[in-house]
């Protein structure tokens, strides 16, 4: 998987890429959590929190954005940063997943929301799943 942070006037524009759709979702979670707590998921984290979430959406783009929004809400509700995703069920319109993370003292960045703006989950010419995600900061 590949995670890049691109320029945006006021917010954060993230580009994620992966060979499988599930991997793209995992990249989204790691990319977002590494904003909430700088580089947190790149460390060897001992998880002490888990959360189950279920999402149904119109298409894979909405599914990804709604999925990341749920992870973000769980992060604030539990004051935890989530890095690992285990899909119990996955299709382009529906998923049940267990996310695992660790409780923290404070966040490094406050993400207000995961937006649908510019999000478009699709395969590129190299047969990789790719999308942009804009976070409202």
Partner 1 sequence: MKISKEDIHKIEDYLWEIPKTFRPNMRVPARVLASESLLDAIMEDRSLVQLVNVASLPGIQGASLVMPDVHEGYGFPIGGVAATLYPDGAISPGGIGYDINCGVRLLTSNQKIEEIRNNLDALSKELYIQIPSGMGKGGHIKLSVQEMEEVLLKGAEWAVEKGYGVKEDLAFMESKGRLENADATLVSDMAKKRGADQLGTIGSGNHFVEVDYVEEIYDETTAKAYGLFKGQVVVLIHTGSRGLGHQVATDYIRQIIKAMPNYGIEVPDRELACVPFNSEEGQNYFKAMCAAANYAWCNREVISWEARTAWRNIFGSTVEPLKLMYDVAHNIAKVETHVIDGVQTDVIVHRKGATRAFGPGFEELPDSYKAAGQPVIIPGSMGTCSYVLAGTARSKELTFGSCCHGAGRRLSRTAAKKQVNAPVLKEKLKERGIFVEAGSFKGIAEEAPIAYKDVNMVVETVSDSGIAKKVAKLRPVAVIKG
Contact positions vs partner 1 (CB under 8 A): 5, 7-12, 57-58, 62, 66, 69, 73, 76-77, 79, 106-110, 112-119, 134, 136-137
Nearer CB in complex with partner 1: 89/106: 106
Q: What residues have CB less than 8 Å from 24, skipping those under 6 apart?
A: 1, 16, 17, 18, 64, 121, 129, 130, 131
Min dist CB 95 to partner 1, Å, is 15
Min dist CB 115 to partner 1, Å, is 4
> 78 near 49, Cβ under 8 Å?
yes
Q: What residues have CB less than 8 Å from 58, skipping those under 6 apart?
A: 93
Min dist CB 45 to partner 1, Å, is 18
Nearer CB in complex with partner 1: 20/39: 39
Cα–Cα nearest to 36, from 99, 103, 96, 116? 103
Q: In whole angstroms, how large is the CA radius of gyration of the chain?
A: 14
Nearer CB in complex with partner 1: 44/106: 106
Residue at token pair 């599914």? 63
Nearer CB in complex with partner 1: 12/130: 12
Min dist CB 100 to partner 1, Å, is 19
Min dist CB 126 to partner 1, Å, is 26
Nearer CB in complex with partner 1: 18/133: 133
Residue 51, both tokens: 């959360």
């Amino acid at each position: 998987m590949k995670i890049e942070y691109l320029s945006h006037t006021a917010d954060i524009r993230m580009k994620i890429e992966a060979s499988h759709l599930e991997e793209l979702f995992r990249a989204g979670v790691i990319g977002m959590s590494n904003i909430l707590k700088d580089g947190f998921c790149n460390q060897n984290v001992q998880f002490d929190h888990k959360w189950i979430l279920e999402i149904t959406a119109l298409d894979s783009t909405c599914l990804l954005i709604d999925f990341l929004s749920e992870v973000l809400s769980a992060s604030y509700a539990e004051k935890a940063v989530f890095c690992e995703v285990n899909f119990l069920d996955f299709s382009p319109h529906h998923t049940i997943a267990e996310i695992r993370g660790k409780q923290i003292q404070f966040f490094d960045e406050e993400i207000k929301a995961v937006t649908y703006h510019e999000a478009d989950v699709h395969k590129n010419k190299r047969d990789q799943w790719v999308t942009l995600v804009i976070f409202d900061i």
